Structure 1
Amino acid sequence: MSLKLITIFLIACAGLVHAEDGDAKLILIKNVLNSIITEGNDLMVQYTLYNIGDGAATDVNLADSSFHESDFELVSGMTSVKWERILAGTNVSHVVIVRPLKSGAFNFTSAVVQYVASEGSDTTFGMSNDLGELDILSLKEFKRIHASHLIEWGLFGVWCIPSIVLPYMLYYKSKSKYSLKAKKN
C-alpha cells in the first residue's frame, strides 16, 4: 500500500511540474485484487483514476485490451469505460471481473486512458502501471495446494493404527502374563 502511495506521489510531483495551470492530470492505476489467480475462477481487476491536476478532465475514456476472448471470459463490467467529467482532486474506480480460460504465465499489459485536459486542448493519452507476467494456476494445481486433504489424513490415520495398536497389544499381553505370576508367589 505504501509503495502505491509513493508511486502516486512521485507521479503527481512529476505531473505538476509539466502541467499548465488549470489543466487536468490523470493517473491510472491498474490492480489485480485476487491474491491467487486460478483457471476457471473469477479474477477481479480494479482501475483507479486520480485527477491530480487543477482542472476537470473531460471526455475520459479508459480501455484495456489485455483480456482477449481466447484467454478470458468477461463476467462483469466492461474493458472500455467512458466518463464525461472527472473533477480536480477526485478519483474514480472501475472493477472488471474476468474468468481465465487457460493456465500458465500471462502478461498483464497496461491500460490506456485518453482525456481532454482543458477546454480547447488536444486529447491527452496516458497509460497505467504494467503488472507484468503473473501465473495463472490450473484448477488441479490449485486444489492440490489448497485442499483440506481429508482423504489423505484419514488414510494416514488408518495406516498409523497398526503401528500403535500392535505394540500396545504385545505390552498388554506381556504385562498380563507376568502380573499373574507375581500374584501367585
Structure 2
Amino acid sequence: MMNPLISLLAAVVLLLAASSVNAIGSDAPFIVAHKKATLDRLKSGSEKVSVSIDIYNHGSATAYDVSLTDDGWSPEIFSIISGNTSISWERLDVGGLLSHSFVLESKVKTVFYSTPAVITYRVPTKAALQEAYTTSLLPLDILSDKPQETKLDFVQKLLGKYGSLISVISIVVLFFYLLVTPPPKSAASKGSKKRR
C-alpha cells in the first residue's frame, strides 16, 4: 500500500509538470531584440553614432501595441541628428521583424556604456504589459585617439580576410604543377647515358 504523503507528493509533481507543459505550449509572443551601433568620425571634431534596433517575434502569437524606448543616451554627451529614440507600432506578427534606427552626434571624448532599450507589448491573454530588452552594446570609445594605419596593418587585414583562400589556391596550383611537371632524371640514369 502506498503512503498517502508519497501519493500526494506525486500528484503535486504531476500537476506542476502538466502546468509547465501548458505554459510552454501556450500561444504567446517571444520577443528577441538586437541593438547595434557604429561610430563614424566627422571632420568637425565630432563623432556620429548610428544606432539600429531589430525586433523579432519568435513566438506563436502576435504582439500588440509594441513600443520601443531607448533613452539611455545621455543628453550631456549626445545630440540627436535624425530619428527618435522612441517609437511605437500597432503589432508584430508571428515571425515578423520591426526595425528602427536613429543617428546621434557627440563632441565629448569619453567611453560610453549604453543601456539596453526597452520593448513593451501587449498580449491579449494578459492584462499587464509585457517587457523585453535588447542586447547590450560594447562600450563606445567616442573620439578616441586611433593610431594611423600603416601598410603592414593593411597587409595583415588582407591576410586575415583572404589568407585561407590564398593558401587553398596555392595548394591547388602546387598540386597541378607537380602533376604536369615531368619527374627529374636521376644522376644514375644520366651517368648510364654518358657511358654508352
Task: Please give the TM-score of this superposition, normalised by the length of structure 1.
Answer: 0.61
Contact in 2 for aligned 1:62/1:114 (Cα 8 Å): yes
RMSD: 2.8
Identify the range of structure 1 (75-84 vs 25-34) with the bigger mean alpha-carbon deviation: 25-34
Return 5+ residue gaps in structure 2 as ranges: 1-21, 150-196
Report the number of matched residues.
129
For residues 41 and 136 of structure 1, do their structure 2 counterparts lie closer, same or farther at Cα, with a shift above 3 Å needed?
closer
Identity %: 25
For structure 1, which runs of at least 5 residues remain unmatched after alignment? 1-16, 147-185
1:108: Cα distance to partner? 1.3
**Is the 1:47–1:94 Cα contact (8 Å) retained in structure 2?**
yes
1:84 matched to 2:87? The reply is no
- Quick check: 1:21 aligned with 2:19? no
1:41 aligns with 2:47: yes
Structure 2: distance between partners of 1:68 and 1:51:
29
Higher mean C-alpha deviation, range 90-99 or range 125-134? 125-134
TM-score (norm 2): 0.57
Q: CA deviation at 1:25?
A: 1.4
Query: Is 1:107–1:133's contact at 8 Å kept on the other side of the alignment?
Result: yes
Q: Choose from 36, 49, 64 the match for 1:31.
A: 36
Query: Residue 80 of structure 2: which of 70, 74, 77 is its match?
Result: 74
What aligned pairs does 1:148-167 form with structure 2 within 5 A after superposition?
Answer: none
State the structure with bigger RCO (CA 8 A, min sep 6), 1 or 2. Answer: 1
Measured after TM superposition, the shift of residue 66 of structure 1 is 1.5
- Once the two structures are TM-superposed, the CA of residue 18 in structure 1 deviates from its matched residue by 5.9
Q: In 2, Cα distance between the equivalents of 1:84 and 1:20?
A: 25
Q: How does 1:1-150 map to 2 (within 5 A)?
A: 21-34=26-39, 40-138=46-144, 141=145, 145=148
Counterpart of 2:148, as a letter, is I
